[in-house]
Structure 1
Amino acid sequence: MKESVKKSLSWSVIVAVITLVLAAIFAIVSTSILSGVSWAVGMVIVFLIVLIGVLFDTIGVAATAANEKPFHAMAAEKLNGAKQAVHITRNADRFANFCNDVIGDISGVISGTASAYVVLRLSMQLGHDEGSNFQLIASILFTSVVAALTVGGKSVGKTLAIQYSTEIIYHVGRLFYFLEVKLKITIFNGKKRKKNGNKNNKRK
């Protein structure tokens, strides 16, 4: 089996495990929060979950669209976060996979589940039985609104990510710098992934 295939399978397993753990955590936390609030507050929480999904999707797209050259110039000027931004662009495939597929998809699933819970709370508060026509209509309307906000938000996010990829990734790099320097939480191990072009040049 080729080394690239092994690495791909290994990364897929790691992502699957991370997704499993994060999905469970998100589900437990969101359910715990929603169980003690009114349907109106629940709606706000659902919209926040949607916003998180849109935000991470935007960051993931920005990582794939960004060019690392501007960050080398920033690193030469010793700007905080520039080195981390270089690591993000060099690991754009995995970084985008985590942001778009892991966090983004989990947010989509959790927002759908939370929407159903909010509709149920609204129906009960208004005195409608479970499975009533009101609950059905409310569920369709609320689910449609959440879906529209998710798709529309990601569409706008992708446009912004492509146009302002450098700025977005630099701000993420500054956040990683803060985590590494102030909180001692290392995001990247410091190993730089070499691009195929560099490898090919060495072989010649």
Structure 2
Amino acid sequence: MKHSLLNTIHWSLGIAVITLVLAAIFSIISTFLLSGVTWAVGMVIVLIIVLIGIFFDTIGVAATAANEAPFHAMASKRIKGARHAVSITRNADKFANFCNDVIGDISGIVSGTAAAFVVLQLSLQLGHGDGTYFQFFVSVLFTSVVAAITVSGKSIGKTLAIQYSTPIIFQVGRLLYIIEVKLKLRIFSTNGKAKRKDQKNRK
């Protein structure tokens, strides 16, 4: 129990630092991309940010819905990415926390800020940048559209994630395999025996 609590605290502190860094990176990149562009291009950038949030939310839900068994069968045939998919399903809580809460929430916050910037750009371009009712109307309209796209997109994503959890997580596993091979960066430990032995010792 104590060990589990310490692990939770350790993970929470780690994910807080990761969130801080990623939020700063997202904000810097979005600010850089939006500076000097037209409002139309800005709208496309906001849409891309929203789609990133929907994409990672879908992956996070798929991780919690996926079953290990199909990936074990793939791993026995030495299919590339299968062991990584097993690791994702075994760490579904942390993986979903990162995808849904970290990337998803950061995307939501950054898209809101970017949307406000686009509204201001549009208002200034049309000569209504002095806080008029026009700016207020455009702000409400654009924010509502972004919210509607986000909610409906995540709804569709969750449905797809539940129905196609196995192929989705397998493709993510293949991506992690490529990252590990090309960049020598290991996200999850793929040593299932070691993990099971460690879990047995904790009991």
TM-score in terms of structure 1 length: 0.93
Using the alignment, how far apart are the partners of 1:178 and 1:110 within structure 2? Answer: 29
Matches within 5 A, 1:10-25: 10-25=10-25
Q: What is the Cα-based RMSD across aligned positions, in Å?
A: 1.9
Query: What residue ranges of structure 1 are gaps of 5+ in the alignment?
Result: none
Q: Deviations over 1:90-116 (max 9, x none)?
A: 110100000000000000000000000
Give 1:84's aligned residue: 84
Using the alignment, how far apart are the partners of 1:65 and 1:116 within structure 2? Answer: 35
Shift of 1:77: 1.1
Matches within 5 A, 1:43-54: 43-54=43-54
Shift of 1:190: 3.5
Q: 1:120 touches 1:130 (CA, 8 Å); kept in 2?
A: no
Q: 1:66 touches 1:166 (CA, 8 Å); kept in 2?
A: yes
Answering whether residue 165 of structure 2 is matched by residue 165 of structure 1, we say yes
Q: 2:84 touches 2:173 (CA, 8 Å); kept in 1?
A: yes
Shift of 1:191: 4.8
Residue identity matched to 1:146: V
Using the alignment, how far apart are the partners of 2:132 and 2:103 within structure 1? Answer: 34
Using the alignment, how far apart are the partners of 1:36 and 1:184 within structure 2? Answer: 37
Using the alignment, how far apart are the partners of 1:28 and 1:147 within structure 2? Answer: 22
Q: 1:114 to 1:126 in 2, by over 3 A?
A: same
Residue identity matched to 2:122: L
Residue identity matched to 1:172: V
Answering whether residue 53 of structure 2 is matched by residue 62 of structure 1, we say no
Residue identity matched to 1:11: W
Q: Deviations over 1:106-145 (max 9, x none)?
A: 0000000000000000000111133111110000000000
Matched position secondary structure for 1:79: coil
Residue identity matched to 1:164: Y
Using the alignment, how far apart are the partners of 1:9 and 1:162 within structure 2? Answer: 29
User: % of aligned pairs identical?
Assistant: 69
Using the alignment, how far apart are the partners of 1:182 and 1:24 within structure 2? Answer: 26
Structure 1 residue runs of 4+, over 2 Å off?
189-195
Q: 1:58 to 1:70 in 2, by over 3 A?
A: same
Residue identity matched to 1:116: A
Shift of 1:38: 0.6
Query: What residue ranges of structure 2 are gaps of 5+ in the alignment?
Result: none
Residue identity matched to 1:94: K
Aligned residues: 201
Residue identity matched to 1:77: K
Q: 2:81 touches 2:177 (CA, 8 Å); kept in 1?
A: yes
Using the alignment, how far apart are the partners of 1:63 and 1:44 within structure 2? Answer: 29
Q: 1:88 touches 1:95 (CA, 8 Å); kept in 2?
A: yes
Matches within 5 A, 1:158-197: 158-192=158-192, 193-194=195-196
Using the alignment, how far apart are the partners of 2:26 and 2:182 within structure 1? Answer: 26
Using the alignment, how far apart are the partners of 1:16 and 1:69 within structure 2? Answer: 32
Matched position secondary structure for 2:183: coil
Q: 1:67 touches 1:166 (CA, 8 Å); kept in 2?
A: yes
Shift of 1:187: 1.3
